[in-house]
A and B are shown apart, each in its own frame.
Chain A
Amino acid sequence: KQEVTQIPAALSVPEGENLVLNCSFTDSAIYNLQWFRQDPGKGLTSLLLIQSSQREQTSGRLNASLDKSSGRSTLYIAASQPGDSATYLCAVGDSGTYKYIFGTGTRLKVLA
């Protein structure tokens, strides 16, 4: 059974810092991995999608990497801003069923 773990559970950093959020999964048979942002009381906003054949994706200040063999993904946020404060969720797409298995998220607070 696929299990997804995110470390750390919470993170507080001063504005301007570069930071790394970690996601690990137990079964490498995935078809993609997606990073989401969730603001309080809101749904999920897709940040980056990495297909299983890809190693990384970039969008603006965000870079996500995928190492399927080791069951790891990282989300790198450059030059963090207070507006980046949110919960970041990692989800792996299960091969064959297409459902997403989510981690419990990292709650990020960027201090001005």
Chain B
Amino acid sequence: GAGVSQSPRYKVAKRGQDVALRCDPISGHVSLFWYQQALGQGPEFLTYFQNEAQLDKSGLPSDRFFAERPEGSVSTLKIQRTQQEDSAVYLCAGGTNADQPQHFGDGTRLSIL
């Protein structure tokens, strides 16, 4: 597709379940970022990939959060043993390089019951 694609758009899970969120970046985009956006707040940085290398994961809130991009294209954000405070919109963004404009997907809205 022409833009960044994220799936699923909506995810509801029970507390304690594991979830996996997918990001399909624009072809050729080297850099890929994950952000978490709580209701009424701006997005907050989670992690950054340059191709398949995860160069910064300082924003991941706990060791329950794990992200990968094994072939330098599609990325998956996994959250284990979900908790209610994990409820948020998870946004993926990509760019041709780290210092270029970031193009955002529509996000995955995660609700933990």
Partner-B contacts on A (CB < 8 A): 4, 31-32, 34, 36, 41-46, 49, 89, 91, 93, 97-105
Contact = CB atoms under 8 A, between A and B. Distances in A.
Nearest to B31: A98
A42 B99 CA distance: 24
Interface of B: 4, 6, 31, 33, 35, 40-45, 48, 56, 58-59, 91, 93, 98-99, 101-107, 109
Contact of A49 (B48, B58, B101): B101
Question: Which of A32, A42, A49, A99 is the most central at the interface, judged by chain B CB atoms within 10 Å of its CB?
Answer: A99
A97 B59 CA distance: 12
Which 10 residue pairs of A and B lie closest in terms of their CB atoms, listed nearest first? A102-B42, A98-B98, A44-B104, A43-B104, A99-B45, A43-B106, A49-B101, A104-B42, A102-B43, A43-B107
B99 A100 contact: no
Nearest to A101: B45
Nearest to A103: B42
B48 A42 contact: no
A104 B42 CA distance: 4
